[in-house]
Structure 1
Amino acid sequence: MKLADVESNMQKTIEATQRSFNTIRTGRANASLLDKVMVEYYGSPTPLKSLANIGTPDATTLIIQPYDKGSLNIIEKAISMSDVGLTPSNDGSVIRLNIPPLTTERRKEFVKIAAKYAEEGRVAIRNIRRDAIDSIRKQEKASEISEDESRDLQDQLQKLTNEYTGKIDKLLAEKEKEITTV
């Protein structure tokens, strides 16, 4: 059991939580809104960003320009079927998505979703800590490390856990501010 491995896993959890936050709408156009959109392309689900260039010409519009013009209609259909909640408009060469301003109720919903993602991240970090502590206790039982070493490692693990849950709390505060800012 190495603390570097535990820290690496916790960092990956932070990154996954950040990616989840990026998929939440904030009232401004952001290409990462479409990160989870999958398009059925030649029989296999393909991420939208692999099939098209996604741009933001202004704060309220996303433009999707497919690399293959023949895929325009299937991309439009995939966006309509996704949980993005935006209606695409197709002009024959690009797809436009207009991002409407968020209502107060919708902003509150998005804050709740962000809080849920943050809690999932915190739980994942606590699970990493639990697994590491189990590993330390097994090493102690097998007399590979002393009781003092075990306590020291567990204290270090707790400090790491506190540091990374603090990072998630900070990310959540930033996302809430971004969502609630009109």
Structure 2
Amino acid sequence: MITEVLSEVKTQMEKATAAIKDGFANVRTGRANPALLQNVQIDYYGTMTPLPQLASVQNQDARSLLITPYDKSALQSIEKAIREMPNLGANPSNDGNVVRVTLPELTEERRRDYVKMVKNRAEEGRIAVRAARRKAKDELDKLKQEVGEDEVGRAEKELESITKSFIDQIDSALSKKEAELLEV
């Protein structure tokens, strides 16, 4: 029973950490990265479709991305969706075959805004990890009658070390992303 509780909480914390790291990948840094466009939804024949299902996205150089749609009729929709993306500031151009997205240089103020946004996302991740810990601790407290206080005490210590390792992972990802954002 205790191992089930600990494995379940570990799974929840892994999901929270993975979501935060994915969120960090979507935050623009000084270089162009295809992950920036990972969550862009395109109106494709009345259905909202993720960009990676409609086109390949490649780095052309440090500040531009090249989007090659699998279906040329989607060019206008792709261009429109990228233009309307908040926090990107890019102006895509369409030459009839591909969409080129050139990202403007980040200003110091914009970099600071992105750092604040990343810190907020990291805090949301820490909160999710702590919520999973709280839920697991409540479940362990319910098991005290069945398995004994010593077993629950050991499980709680293990729960704390699991929690600390996931919070450390989030903090590490945050510091890497922060350094990446502030790099000029």
TM superposition score category, shorter chain reference: over 0.9
Which of 54, 62, 65 does residue 65 from structure 2 map onto?
A: 62
In the alignment, does 2:102 pair up with 1:98? Answer: yes
Partner residue, 1:75: 78
Matching of residues 9-158 of structure 1 within 5 Å? 9-83=12-86, 84-140=88-144, 143-158=145-160
Q: For residue 27 of structure 2, give the secondary structure of its aligned residue in structure 1.
A: coil
> Where does structure 1 lack aligned partners over 5 or more consecutive residues?
none
The alpha-carbon deviation at position 108 of structure 1 amounts to 0.3
Runs of 4+ in 1 over 3 A off after TM superposition: none
Cα distance, 1:4 vs structure 2: 2.2
Q: Deviations over 1:106-152 (max 9, x none)?
A: 11001001101100110010011011001111122xx2210111111
| RMSD between aligned residues | 1.0
Q: Deviations over 1:138-178 (max 9, x none)?
A: 122xx221011111111111111111101100100000000
Letter in 2 for 1:3: L
CA distance in 2, matches of 1:32, 1:145: 47
Identity %: 43
- Post-superposition offset of 1:27: 1.3
Aligned length: 180
TM-score (norm 2): 0.94
Say if 2:91 and 2:103, in contact at 8 Å, map to a contact too.
no
1:168 counterpart SS class: helix
